[in-house]
Amino acid sequence: MIAPEAKRRLTEVVGARGYLDRPEDLKLYEYDGSVDKAKPELVLFPRSTEDVVAIVKITHEFRIPIVGRGAGTGLSGGAIPRSGGVTIGFARMNRILEIDLKNERAVLQPGVVNLDITLAVQAQKYFYAPDPSSQRACTIGGNVAENAGGPHTLAYGVTTNHVLGLEVVLPDGTVFETGGKETDVPGYDLTGLLVGSEGTMGLVTKVIVRLMRAPELVKTALAIYDTVDDCADTVALITARGITPVAVEMLDGVMLRMVEEATHAGYPMDASAVLLIELEGLKEGVDEQLELIRQACMDCRCREFRVARSAEERDLLWKGRKNAFGAVGRVSPFYYVQDGVVPRTQIAPTLRRIQQVSEKYGLIISNIFHAGDGNMHPIILFDARKENELQRAQLAGEEILQFCVDSGGSITGEHGVGMEKMELMGHQFPEDTLNAIKAFKNLFDPDCRLNPGKVLPTGKGCLEVRQLPLTAATAI
Amino acid sequence: MEQIRPRSPEELAARLGEASAAGQRIRLEGNGSKARAGGAISEADVRISTACLDQVLIFEPKDLTMSVGAGLPFARFTELLDQHGMMVPLDPPFAAQATVGGVVAANTSGPRRRLYGTARDLVIGMKFATLEGKIVQSGGMVVKNVAGLDMAKLLIGSLGTLAAIATVNFKLIPKPQGSRTFVFEYNTASEAVAMRDRILQSALQPSAVDLCNPAAATVLGLAKWTLAIGVSGNAAVLDRYQRELGGEAIEGGFWRAVEEFGPGFLNANPEGCIVRCAVTLDQVGAAMEKLPGAVVARSANGVCYSHCQSTDQAAAAMTMGRPVMEYGPSSRTAALKMWPNKDSGFPIMQKVKRMFDPKHLLNRGRLYGDI
Ligand SMILES: Cc1cc2nc3c(=O)[nH]c(=O)nc-3n(C[C@H](O)[C@H](O)[C@H](O)COP(=O)(O)OP(=O)(O)OC[C@H]3O[C@@H](n4cnc5c(N)ncnc54)[C@H](O)[C@@H]3O)c2cc1C
């Protein structure tokens, strides 16, 4: 419970229009894109770093838990306030503070929507490279917290490779800056440590990112397969041959049909799998790479290899990819997105295993994922209104992630551990590593008030959660 | 002084734990090639070297990943990759003597960082041994991974002041079909910078864009302000560069001379130092005009290296951008200021240091004597 005195002072910081506290409003802030739920007691919308500092200092004084929130598109429960308390929404800190093209940088408030960065500079032929499929909604603050990736991170790297500086507010209200517009700033790379810390070590109030010059030519191809194995083998072959497309996305048959019905992107309804491949760069290089890719696809018995002939055709192909979750939503009221990573040679066996898991649990699992990085996204369809289906979906997801770890991979490539995969951290990392992570958490957040109950397994974290989370299966 | 060369990460951790428990000051090194980097290590009771952790642990050419022991000589590492048509294009100085762990711990890099980035972009996983005698893992063997904290980022560039890097995992880059080097000479820095800007603002994607002032150019056998451009790709791409950039291609061996510029200078100048100034791209020209001595810059990254004859000269260099004395004179004194203008993150860095090394035993004097 937030003490009345604390609440009065907190709401004073943001003003009458800067907070939400009615139960029906708070309900909108109890979930993110994952399947868990827990309600905040108060949601505050600061407009400046000063506001954030003032809020954090009051919560420090009254020992109230705090959780940062961007757009709430996270897929691991990162923004869910499982201990209640205050949610700090960054929706009003959404200004692009500076576009500095001659230095290839942009300075952003954390609530800036990912796609808006590229939109602001594309007329000048620049872009911001990390492009999560949720880029129309997700914020740079959330991207920094999760170290978000996207289709094009295969060639350009993930968020951490494009963030050069941060302004951070610690849970006691201390503000500091790390990095800057320059590279190679002396001292420890705190920027690198904080990117991907899942909003558990500091609140990010400013982000400096790299902008890149847009390529002169982009070519997008769709390779169509009659078997999933052939499709997966192509990814391994492209990697082994050292061909460097900028994106290699895979959709399996189940996914294809859902996407095609929803978006009419021109995907074949009868195929078992497709690869969406993009090449970028100088014209002379792209043309040759396209041939090498075509060859690799053909060597793996690709049924058809189509190259988009126009920007419209290309956009349509990508529309299918980027709206995939919407397409799933049309078919199934509930779905559970997983995010394992395997070495690229292991994609085919992993997909076979996913199929077995699907049969074992009697749940449909579709796959749409960043194949070029080996970043699997099995989407498990379930119906939370049916008894035990959520639990079955979660068990199925866990089994898949365990397989990923056992194949030399990871339990998460871009969505984060959050509260969803905490218990699997012990499967991924030895005890001493978990302890080291905990030591860092303690160093930055000694009271364990910032986004408590995330990342580390229960009992290994700095604090046991006070309140068990609700889930999508609990009464809505 | 006692010298220890552990043969496994476990042994490394155990030795560190013992030394720490005994309150011994530890000098941590790979092959000791960068003795003058980041502040000389003042005094120590025990020397622990990773030189015997020199194995290739996992090599998955089809996955383009490799895991190696920190003590693997960097030269052997690059040679092996080269044989398989791959690379980790860090292009560090001291490449012939350095170990992989040392390159990563010092975060040294070279010309091609414009296109390929630095250790923070190419390292996908790491194991390090702490003073508590534990082995901690960050990342893994896959190219995309956000499980756990990215602690490797902290170790990169920490100059052995936090923990000992035991193994490093890299993502590998396929070697381009061909590469070429173009050199352009100008009478003024601003002309050279104007050419750089034309290139950066075009669709061209050079891998290296270095700028040398006349003093540095002279050492490299040239004379004026020199802009050196490295490009790579297939034959058609290389021809395109040739057409658009104009000028004649020169021998690629030029880059070895650029990479070893610093080591050569330090060798010849026992009392010399190298100041590294981080600046924004638009400050490169002005900074280079003012920086003393021979100056070599990664001009498309905003990193200028000023090769100074004396600490006085270095003090003048350290007024530009965000500077640090990357290499100091052989006879360094404790009073020498190597890291001016710390930012507001410095107290956090100190906290991190205290967490790893509460008794301040590890590489005392390193990280510019300030941590
Ligand atoms: C349809 C769909 C597709 C997606 N595709 C991708 C994809 O391709 N790649 C990918 O990486 N992810 C993807 N995601 C997941 C999600 O969009 C990303 O994790 C994104 O980075 C979350 O941003 P957000 O603003 O929604 O953050 P939220 O969900 O609001 O928060 C995520 C985490 O960030 C923390 N946080 C937010 N703002 C701050 C701040 N200012 N300071 C500190 N912590 C903060 C929160 O506390 C929380 O822990 C997808 C999600 C959906 C729904």
- Can you say whether residue B233 is alpha, beta or left, with left for phi > 0 and alpha for psi between -120 and 50 degrees? left
B337 in a structural domain: no
State the Cα–Cα distance between residues A379 and B80, nearest whole angstrom: 40
Give how far B362 is from chain A: nearest CA, Å: 15
Over the stretch B321-343, which tens digit does the pLDDT of each residue have? Answer: 999 999 999 987 777 899 999 99
On whether both A360 and A411 belong to a single domain, the answer is: yes
DSSP-H helix ranges across B138-260 = 151-155, 189-200, 214-219, 235-245, 254-259
Q: Where are the alpha helices (DSSP H) in B25-92?
A: 74-83
Pair B229, B127 in one domain: no
Nearest to B156 by CA among A392, A187, A221, A459: A187
End-to-end Cα distance, chain A: 22
Is residue B339 a part of any domain in this protein? Answer: no
Q: CA B253, CA B261: separation in Å to the nearest integer?
A: 13
Residue B102's domain is classified under what CATH number? 3.30.465.10
Q: Are residues B190 and B270 in the same domain?
A: yes
Amino acid type, B223: A
Domain that holds residue A319: 217-326
> Is residue B334 in some structural domain?
no
Last residue within a domain, chosen from A400, A416, A432: A416
- My answer on whether B94 and B119 are in the same domain is yes
Distance (Å) from CA B113 to ligand 1 centroid: 29
Domain contains A255: yes
A191 vs B contacts (CB less than 8 Å): 153
Same structural domain, B62 and B164: yes
- For residues B190 and B317, membership in a common domain is answered with yes
Instruction: Give bridge partners of residue A68 from the DSSP assignment.
Output: A88
Q: Are residues B207 and B295 in the same domain?
A: yes
**A221 and A304 within one domain:** yes
Residues A339 and A306 both lie in one domain: no
Position A356 in a domain: yes
Counting the structural domains of chain B, the total is 2
CA atoms of B292 and B274, how far apart (whole Å) = 10
Nearest CB to B137; choose among A288, A373, A430? A430
Chain B positions in Cβ-Cβ contact with residue A428 (cut-off 8 Å): 140, 147-148
Rounded CA gap, A146 and A77, in Å? 11
> Domain range holding B268?
178-327
Q: Which amino acid is at A48?
A: S
Handedness of CA A43, A49, A54, A59 (dihedral sign): positive
Per-residue pLDDT of chain A (476 residues; tens, 9 = 90+): 899 999 999 999 999 999 999 999 999 999 998 888 999 999 999 999 999 999 999 999 999 999 999 999 999 999 999 999 999 999 999 999 999 999 999 999 999 999 999 999 999 999 999 999 999 999 999 999 999 999 999 999 999 999 999 999 999 999 999 999 999 999 999 999 999 999 999 999 999 999 999 999 999 999 999 999 999 999 999 999 989 999 999 999 999 999 999 988 889 999 999 999 999 999 999 999 999 999 999 999 999 999 999 999 999 999 888 888 888 988 888 999 999 999 999 999 999 999 999 999 999 999 999 999 999 999 999 998 999 999 999 999 999 999 999 999 999 999 999 998 999 999 999 999 999 999 999 999 999 999 999 999 888 887 544 444 444 443 33
**Domain boundary, last residue among A275, A292, A326:** A326
Q: ipTM of this predicted complex?
A: 0.97
Number of domains forming the structure of chain A = 2
Q: Is residue A460 part of a domain?
A: no
CB pairs < 8 Å spanning A and B? 243
CA pair distance A128, A116, nearest whole angstrom: 9
The CATH number assigned to the domain holding A370 equals 3.30.70.2740
Q: Do residues A434 and A460 lie in contact, with contact meaning Cβ atoms separated by under 8 Å?
A: yes
Strands A217-225 and A304-307: antiparallel
Is A251 domain-assigned? yes
Tokens at B108, concatenated: 């040294």
Q: Using alpha carbons, select from A316, A279, A280 the residue that is nearest to residue A296.
A: A279
Question: Is the Cβ atom of A413 under 6 angstroms away from ligand 1?
Answer: no
Is residue B311 in some structural domain? yes
Closest approach of A273 to chain B, Cα-based (Å): 22
For ligand 1, whether the C-beta of A32 sits within 6 Å is: yes
B233/A284 Cβ within 8 A:
yes
Choose one of A308, A326, A344: the last residue of a domain: A326
Considering the domain boundaries, does residue B31 fall inside one? yes
Strand pairing class (B2-4; B46-49): parallel
CA separation for the pair A186, A179 (Å, rounded): 9
Q: In the predicted model, what is the mean pLDDT of chain B?
A: 96
Give the HSE-up count for residue A330: Cα atoms under 13 Å, Cβ half-sphere: 12
Residue A17 lies in a domain: no
Distance A315 CA to ligand 1 centre (A): 24
Residue B332, domain member (yes or no): no
For testing the chain A interface, which of B113, B118, B146 should be mutated: the one with the most A CBs within 10 Å? B146
Q: Where are the beta strands (DSSP E) in A65-149?
A: 66-69, 86-89, 96-100, 105-108, 126-127
Q: Which ligand 1 atom is nearest residue A148's CA? A: 11
Note whether B245 and B310 are same-domain residues: yes
Q: Considering the domain boundaries, does residue A244 fall inside one?
A: yes
- pLDDT beyond 50 at B17: yes
The closest alpha carbon to A334, from A275, A296, A382, belongs to A382
Tell me the torsion sign for CA atoms A163, B168, B64, A417: negative
- CA of B24: how far to CAs of B21, B54, B186, in Å? 8, 25, 54
pTM of the model: 0.96
* Domain match, A391 and A408 both: yes
**Could you tell me if residue B161 is inside a domain?**
yes
Regarding whether B319 and B364 lie in a shared domain, the answer is: no
CATH number where B263 lies: 3.40.462.40
Q: Are B166 and B23 part of one and the same domain?
A: yes
Q: Is residue B139 part of a domain?
A: yes
Give the C-alpha distances (Å, rounded to integers) separating B192 from A61, A262, B22, B295: 56, 53, 56, 14
Residues 244-263 of A with CB under 8 A from B: 244
- In this structure, the answer to whether residues B21 and B42 fall within a common structural domain is yes
**A17 to A7, A39, A67, A94, A474: CA distances (angstroms):** 14, 20, 20, 16, 31
> Is A158 within the bounds of a domain?
no
Separation in Å, CA of A475 to nearest CA in chain B: 31
B93 alpha carbon – ligand 1 mean position (Å): 39
Same domain flag for B16 and B149: yes
Is the CB of A150 within 6 Å of ligand 1?
yes
Measure the CA–CA gap between A272 and B349, rounded to whole angstroms.
Answer: 52
Same domain? B169 vs B29: yes
pLDDT at A471: 44
Residue type, A60: H
